[in-house]
Every structure is written in C-alpha cells, then in structure tokens.
C-alpha cells in the first residue's frame, strides 16, 4: 500500500522551515545594526552591486534569515510607522511574525532594547494567540506571538 503525501509535503518536504524574509530598506547599515542589536540576528553574507546601486545583507538566527535589500531611489512604504489597523487595509504582506515561547519575556527584552511598540500585548481567543507588534527602523510591522494553551 502506498502512502500519498499531501501537496504541502510534496512541495516543502516533511519538515518545512522558512529560509528567509526579504525586506526593502532605506539604509542598509542602519537596518543591519537594528536587526543585530534589537533582535539579535547575526550578519552572515553581503553583496554589493554598485553598478546597479543594489546592496544586500543577510542576517541569520538558527538558520532563518532576514535579507535586507537597499536599492538607491526606492520609495518608502506609505503606511510605515502606521498603527496595525490601517496597514491591514492595503492588500499584500503587512507584517511578519515570530512565534515565541514566553511573550512576556520577549516583550521585556524588546522594551529594554528600545523597540518601538505598535500595540500592546493582545489576546485573540478566536485565533488562539496572544501577540504584540513592534516597528523595525523603517516602520515595518513585526509581530511576536505565543499560542494560547
């Protein structure tokens, strides 16, 4: 008897793991500093293509990367630094999220690191999560969430 794997398993394998998240940034050096100092990601690789005014830095933590991309002349997201509500009224990716084991401890670390909070810890019973959002140095939303028991 053959076992049929799901479409997701055929695509991602039996143990899917995100590779990286790409973020267009206004200043590569400032973003590398913010993601290193505030979230603890470690610089892993760099690529500078001055002829096309394109620079990339990949920072990693336990195999997950944040790919920071600076393109000269790029435009700021018009909803950067906006509270979460209006950001969700524009279709497309509006935030990225990390699951954490202890939301209160994560909140404390980020407050001590000077992170700017977009919202306070909130419970969404219907989704089974407690979460909060912060802004990165360019005003992009980052969510931290803990599953409810």
Contacts of 67 (CB under 8 A, 6+ apart): 20, 21, 22, 23, 56, 57, 58
* Residue 132 and residue 86 in contact, taking contact as beta carbons nearer than 8 Å: no
On whether the CB atoms of residues 118 and 83 are closer than 8 A, the answer is: yes
Q: Are residues 52 and 110 in the same domain?
A: no
The total number of structural domains that make up the chain: 2
Residues 6+ apart with CB under 8 A from 107: 121, 132, 144
Same domain for 104 and 147, yes or no, is yes
pLDDT (tens digit, 0 to 9) for every residue of the chain, 149 residues total?
A: 556 788 888 888 887 788 899 999 999 999 999 999 999 999 999 999 999 899 999 999 998 999 999 999 999 888 888 877 777 777 778 889 999 999 999 999 999 999 999 999 999 999 999 999 999 999 999 999 999 98
pTM: 0.87
Residues 96 and 147 in one domain: yes
């Amino acid at each position: 008897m053959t076992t049929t794997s799901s479409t997701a398993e055929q695509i991602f394998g039996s143990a899917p793991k995100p590779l990286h998240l790409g973020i267009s940034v206004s200043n590569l050096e400032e973003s590398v500093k913010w993601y290193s100092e505030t979230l603890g990601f470690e610089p892993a690789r760099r690529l500078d293509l001055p002829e096309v005014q394109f620079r990339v830095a990949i920072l990693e933590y336990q195999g997950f990367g944040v790919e920071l991309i600076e393109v000269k002349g790029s435009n700021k997201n018009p909803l950067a630094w906006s509270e979460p509500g209006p950001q969700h009224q524009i279709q497309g990716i509006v935030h990225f999220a990390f699951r954490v084991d202890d939301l209160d401890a994560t909140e404390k670390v980020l407050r001590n690191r000077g992170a700017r909070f977009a919202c306070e810890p909130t419970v969404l019973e219907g989704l089974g999560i407690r979460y909060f959002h912060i802004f990165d140095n360019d005003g992009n939303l980052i969510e931290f969430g803990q599953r409810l028991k």
